[in-house]
Amino acid sequence: MWTNLLKNLPWRSLLLAVVINAFLIGLYYLGYKSGHENATRDGDKAVSELQSAFDTYKTEQATLENAALRAWAKRYQEQVAAGQQAEASYLEQIAQLESQNKQLQGQINDVTQRWIDEKGKSHPIECVFTRGFVRQYNAALGYDNASVDAGHSDATAAAGTGTRAASGQPAAADAWLRDSGVSQRDVLANIIDNAKQCRIWRSQINGMLDEREGLQK
């Protein structure tokens, strides 16, 4: 019975089906393996290219950052040098101004005690500065009338003031035309001091401008 059954089976059809299935399985395996290898190769290539691009980017960024750092360091050094130069120049100018002021102050008596006329005769200088003159002078310097009347300590403001206030007597109508006691020497000394201070301020301003210009380069 089993023998007849086996003989009646369509062996050719079965064999053909097995061969076809084996062929299809082989094709699938070969295709899968080939595709996997290709995908792996393409993936590795893409990763390698990305890594290379990233390494190049990092190198370029490092180069740019180093260049920027060097430029900043150079600019900082230039700014420090400009500041030091401005300070040295300012200190030198102040020293010169102090020396000039001392020299001018030392020559005050030579030009405020006597004068010589066209005949060569020497005369004592008699110059009267009224209280009104002193008041106006000090007002121009920013001192108020109270400080003038009380006897301000600065040069001209200190001289020839407060006579009326000290006596306690009421001021005369023409008190502002009275002799203040300020001499030509006092006025010149005050002018010299004020000029020195103005030149110091000018040097300070010029120094700050020079330093600022150096920082902006």
Residue range of the domain that includes 159? 104-216
Burial grade of 83 (CB within 10 A; 0-12, 13-18, 19 or more): middle
The helix (run of H) or strand (run of E) holding residue 130 is strand 129-130
Question: Could you tell me if residue 135 is inside a domain?
Answer: yes
Give the tens place of pLDDT for each residue, 65-111: 999 999 989 888 887 887 788 888 888 989 999 999 999 999 999 88
Question: Could you tell me if residue 173 is inside a domain?
Answer: yes
Question: Could you tell me if residue 167 is inside a domain?
Answer: yes
The pLDDT, as a whole number, for residue 51 is 84
Question: Could you tell me if residue 192 is inside a domain?
Answer: yes
Q: Are strands 122-124 and 114-116 parallel, antiparallel or unpaired?
A: antiparallel
DSSP per residue, 157-207: HHSS--HHHHHTPPPPTTGGGSEEEE-HHHHHHHHHHHHHHHHHHHHHHHH
Question: Could you tell me if residue 118 is inside a domain?
Answer: yes
Question: Could you tell me if residue 49 is inside a domain?
Answer: no
Question: Could you tell me if residue 99 is inside a domain?
Answer: no
Structure token digits, residue 79: 């700014």
If you search the block for the tokens 């001021």, which residue do you land on? 171
Which has the minimum average pLDDT: 3-7, 107-111, 165-169?
165-169
Averaged pLDDT, 154-183? 62
The total number of structural domains in the chain stands at 1
Closest residue by Cα to residue 80 from 181, 217, 174: 217
Total number of residues shown for the chain: 217
Give the tens place of pLDDT for each residue, 42-53: 777 788 888 888
Mean pLDDT of the chain: 78
CA distance 181 to 18: 139
Question: Could you tell me if residue 140 is inside a domain?
Answer: yes
